Chains A and B, each alone.
Chain A
Amino acid sequence: MQRTVFWLAGLMALPVAAEAKTEISWWHAMTGANAEVVTKIASDFNASQEDYEVKPVFKGTYPETLNAGIAAFRAGQAPDIIQVFDVGTGVMMGAQGAIKPVAEVLKEGGYDFDKSQYLPGIVGYYSTPEGEMLSFPYNSSSPILYYNKDIFEKAGLDVDNPPKTWAEVWAAARKIKESGAATCGYTSTWLTWIHTENFAAWNNVSWATNENGLAGTPELKIDGPLFVKHFQELADLAKEGVFVYGGRTSEAKQNFTSGECGILTESSGGLGDIVKSGMNYGIGQLPYDETAEGAPQNTTPGGASLWVMGGKSDETYKGVAAFFNYLSQTEVQQYLHEQSGYLPVTMAAYEATKASDFYQKNPGRETPILQMMGKPPTENSKGVRAPNLPQLRDIQNEEYEKMLAGQQDAATALKNAVERGNAAIKEAVGG
């Protein structure tokens, strides 16, 4: 409430302040604990200098924000900065002329842009094949395993050792259900991002040809034997009622925080809400398949990055550069990392967090970083890219839902997802 009053006061003061300050609009998709971080970062930046004023505007979910940005661009009303989720990266990269590369913005703003300051896995994902950084990695996350310690104890499971492989997860989940410790053993958000894209990287199997689309037009490979095995196991668990499906995005988080399910796989960015719920939780790394060679490999960055729209005034770009420079500062990154569970994007911030006793006090919080940085990435684990990734995920979700409802087996679901997905990619590239 106080914040609203503050904002209203800010709006009323606008005509006076507008002359002096250059306004920078920032459209974002953060909710709950993460939205508070956005507000705080923006107001701290505004207080730190006199020339620019960053105005964060909440635009709905990730897809809604992207659509709002595109619609605004078409109408000539694009925001200055827009937060676009990982999946939209391919869409934005294809839109040269609509965007201005972040590396360019920073350089023109007079800031030394040194790529080696940033975490390589994250920056690599948001750069062109030639290495130019296109967008600013604001919130990078990695899927991890959360478990309810109270439920684990009731079920007679080891509270200090969360399951490491999928086979162990299935066993623990069955035990939770059978022992009556909870009605549901396991649930997961984002079956596409966690069980398909990261599953591939983490177990070092190919998601698609052409380095998962990073090197060219991809052709999906997700009907391989490891995927079929994994999804069939998931479908069987769903039939037994051990696995409960929550929805296509992060709905399943509620099934976990409400105490219905004992184990959850979710983005590390979901941590803020889990902490807020006050439950007795533990964190483990994302499970892998022990039959996969070389697993665990490394996970790929999810989350979102900030894109700068094209065609703005020099003054605006200077402000954006100043803001990004502010965002890269160690204290700001550390704050972001510790509050939200998202990863720090600079090496310095990671080192500083390590040097403090944060990871000792909060065991498991380093997990997503270690997962991503543990091994140098292979061609299966640098990330995935497609010109129409949102559409591919939709197709996969539809097929998975039919599978979980018992209408088709895993092999059929994945075969359909590949066939329909490849046809859609062809259409998107040809069109």
Chain B
Amino acid sequence: MRRTVFPHKLLPWLLLAPQLAITLIFFYWPAGQAFRQSMLREDAFGLKSTFVGLANFRKVLGDPNYLNAVQVTAVFSALVALFAMAIALFLAVQAEKVIRGKGFYRTLMIWPYAVAPAIAGMLWLFMFNPSFGTLAWPLRQMGIHWNPLLDGDHAMILVVAAATWKQISYNFLFFVAGLQAIPRSLLEAAAIDGASRRHAFWTIVFPLLTPTTFFLLVVNTVYALFDTFGIIHAVTGGGPGKATETLVYKVYNDGFVNLIMGDSAAQSVILMIIVIALTAFQFRFIERRVHYG
């Protein structure tokens, strides 16, 4: 790689300044505030506050509801990441095969990405609302007692479906790009050697896609952890019971509904640590197996 050398010492900093400013204002500052708040116990209006050290953390980690949220989050994120990537890969491979109207299909596939999470949530909510949902009715006709308002598993299926649907477009885009980067010659050579399509996919295409897959794994996990708040808020509100209360939703619920700022801030800090750890882990261990072309 060629090194770019700047004549000035100041110029590189100047070029970095906008990004640094954004990171400082939108990440370090709020993160610092969260740290401070996590060690305080305060009333809702912030009129009285006492320093309590790590008491909020102890309380949060000893709360069975928090452990429930950890479980819910693990199940939710795993399902969303798995389905969003698997379906997107399948569609990308299929879209590659299309000869006519490729652009048209691709545009349609990418479309859902432009939909805001809350609106995506509302769409699915309307389709599957047990009383007036257009798709809930046929489900009931098939003898499935569909009721996400009371059945925790149904609620989970609904939010996973909505979150997955919204993320497929993004993954699709990257898989299409990844597929196009695979040298034709390899596939042709495999075909000449008599490899079946399936065989060629698993031994050539899939391994060559690992950088894309890995990148998407990181992005999708972070997406499932954080960006799905709007969907959960619109579709289930964390319910029924606490069946769809993820870690992020619990931060919101404790902080903004129950007005327990200290607990909520402590949870944000834990969440921050989890994400840092998760990303570090993924880069450290999974990236080793990634084959960069």
Contacts and interface: CB of A to CB of B under 8 A. Distances in A.
Given A67-B256, A398-B239, A95 B45 contact: yes
B43 interface: yes
A390 B257 contact: yes
Contacts, number: 81
Interface string A83-109: 000000001001111100000000000
Nearest to A405: B150
A245 B131 CA distance: 10
A95 to B, nearest CB: 5
B149 interface: yes
Size band of the interface chain B makes with A: 20 to 34
B259 A390 contact: yes
A63 B43 CA distance: 16
A95 B43 CA distance: 8
B151 interface: yes
B149 A67 contact: no
A92 to B, nearest CB: 9
Interface string B242-259: 100000000001001111
A98 B239 contact: no
A364 interface: no
Contacts of A398: 239-242
B44 A70 contact: yes
B55 to A, nearest CB: 10
Contacts of B262: 431
Contacts of A95: 43-45, 47
Contacts of A94: 43-44
Size band of the interface chain A makes with B: 35 or more
B131 A254 contact: yes
Interface in A8-43: none
Contacts of B45: 70, 73-74, 95, 97-98
16 contacts: A67-B256, A67-B259, A73-B45, A74-B45, A91-B259, A96-B47, A97-B45, A245-B149, A246-B149, A260-B131, A388-B258, A391-B260, A394-B257, A394-B258, A402-B241, A405-B241
Interface of B: 41, 43-47, 130-132, 149-152, 237, 239-242, 253, 256-260, 262
Given A73-B45, A91-B44, 19 more contacts: A67-B257, A67-B259, A70-B259, A74-B46, A94-B44, A95-B44, A97-B47, A244-B130, A244-B131, A246-B131, A246-B149, A255-B131, A394-B258, A398-B240, A398-B241, A401-B239, A405-B151, A407-B241, A431-B43
